[in-house]
Amino acid sequence: MEHGSIDAPRPPLMREGDPGGPPAVAPGPQPQRPIDGVVRCASCHRYPLVGEQVTRHIGRHGEEWACETCEREGRGRRLGAVTGGDRVRSLSGAANVHRAV
């Protein structure tokens, strides 16, 4: 048999993942925490700084965040229902910044 022939033996087909199927219980979604450089205000499109208060909204576009200024001036209302608020954290999880001396 020559290479590429129809009669050539083929390797068995394999599928990716566990052959037993999906896990019995899928892990639930984890709530997203606002992280510096990741969370963006859906009204003014600014990235709030570490320690700033942001408000989570659920609306037509899913989960969106509004910065404290936009929320105070009423621009956050167009984003949908408020589901909570939090302070922006650093990538390491700190909610404030310490000044180096």
Q: pLDDT for 40-54, tens place per residue? A: 999 999 999 888 999
Locate the domains of the chain by residue range: 34-90
Residue 86 pLDDT > 70: yes
Tokens of 69: 């200024």
* pLDDT at site 43: 94
- Alpha carbon 83 to its chain centroid, in Å, reads 16
**Residue 54 and residue 47 in contact, taking contact as beta carbons nearer than 8 Å:** no
Q: Phi-psi region for residue 84, left (φ > 0), alpha (ψ -120 to 50) or beta?
A: left
Query: How would residue 81 be classed by pLDDT, with cut points 50, 70 and 90?
Result: very high
- pTM of structure: 0.61
pLDDT in tens, 14-67: 555 555 555 555 555 555 677 877 889 999 999 998 889 999 999 888 889 999
